[in-house]
Amino acid sequence: MGESPENLWSHPQLVAAVTSEDWGAVFRTYRKLTGLSQMKLGERVGLVQPDVSDIERGRRRVTSVEVRQRIVAGINVPLDLQATAAQLAMDTAPVAGLALPGAAPDEDLLTRVTGVVNESHRVDAATLDWLDRLLAEHRRAEDRIGSRPLVDVMRQQLHTVVNLYAGARGRLTGRVVRLASEHAQFLAWMAQDQAQTASALAWYDRSHEWALEAGDANMAATTLSMKAHMAWSGGRGTRCVRLAEAARWSAPGTSLGVQGMAAQMAARGHALEGEADDARRLLDEAQALITRASERPEAEPVWMYFYDETWFTLQRGMAALHLRDWREAVDHLTVGLGALPDEYRRDKTWYRACLAHAFAGAGESTQAVSVAVASIPDASSLGRPHSWNELHTAAAVLMRRGAKEGRQLVTALREYD
């Protein structure tokens, strides 16, 4: 007889296999404890029996984010255990290579950057300036290529930053902690982007803790706003509002842009709950803040580079989408997408999927399918579950309305599933 669910995830051998992400050992141990055949386990995790066998025997490695997510969901890995696995992956990651094509530091600086980790040399300002610059470049790269290719690189880079702490002195100690907080926030965002909720929450909590230690009010507030965004993504409007309001009152002295981000997140939470008056009031407040922030861009933290009128127009479109004001949603999303630079490939894919949903809701089925079908290749190649799910939502709305284009969109999506 197999283990009961309450005992299964306390078994040390299974816990060790999951936290080390040894999926072959996970499968073997899970089947031993539950009595499942390879075929039955495959049905749970969306794999055929030969694939389960190959993974167990080490002939196939699990490298796909989608396959990993299916395994975790199929065997019901507890959230706290998923978070532990994410933390251990960071703790054991190797030191990153720090060369950046086309923007490498001079030879002396590169020696110092790589040497402080292995030889415990003192950290200097030039080293931290370079790491600040490298993080900024990675943020920009993620806009173009999505989060999947960068996750391992950023884990390694954070490991490097954490190791710098022992060699930091005086004011540089605070800079190292701040830099670690920014890296953890970026890792959290990428986990969130890939729908890895437990990992994202663990990274946001770590980032918030480090931000408080470094005295960085802007990052402390930003992590709360991003947790509000996670709640919004999960359809939890009330939690979204509460976290966004916490971002506003718990970190005084934040920049106007950071305040505006928190206000618009609260607005989106209210919109999700159908509370139109509160949503529109907070959107107006956020717009006033972003207008004032645009007058002094140098006062904003570097990670707020994307927060401008174009981005805010798109957020208004999202709020209108939740309030089922389809025409307003179409108008705002169309204007915002028209102004969004092509380099924001990830965001363009997401907002196009939302525009398809808005067109479907407005009963404009031809436009909905046209926008959706054009978005499918990028949604598939970038590996964004949120964009993919939104395209399926648009198809579902069309099907409910009895539009013949709904089946056309479903067929197009199945070609990439």
Q: CA 335, 143, 270, 372: dihedral to nearest 10 degrees?
A: 60
Q: Which of 15-24, 57-66, 346-355 has the lowest mean pLDDT?
A: 57-66
Q: How is the chain split into domains, by residue range?
A: 5-77, 78-211, 216-305, 308-417
CA dist., res. 284 & res. 307, Å (int): 15
Residues 11-56 have pLDDT tens digits of 777 877 887 778 898 999 899 888 899 988 988 887 778 888 889 9
Specify the residue for token string 């300036």. 129
**Kindly report the CA angle at 204 between 130 and 209, in degrees rounded to 5?**
80
Residues 279-304 have pLDDT tens digits of 999 999 999 998 898 888 889 998 88
Q: Which CATH class is domain 308-417?
A: mainly alpha
Give the pLDDT band (50/70/90) at residue 122: low
Identical fold, 5-77 and 308-417? no
Average pLDDT over residues 138-162: 82
Give the pLDDT band (50/70/90) at residue 246: very high
What pLDDT does 216 receive?
A: 93
CA dist., res. 225 & res. 258, Å (int): 9
What pLDDT does 106 receive?
A: 46
Handedness of CA 334, 335, 341, 344 (dihedral sign): negative
Q: CA 214, 305, 247, 227: dihedral to nearest 10 degrees?
A: -100
Cβ contacts of 232 within 8 Å, gap of 6 or more = 240, 265, 268, 269, 272
Q: Which CATH class is domain 5-77?
A: mainly alpha
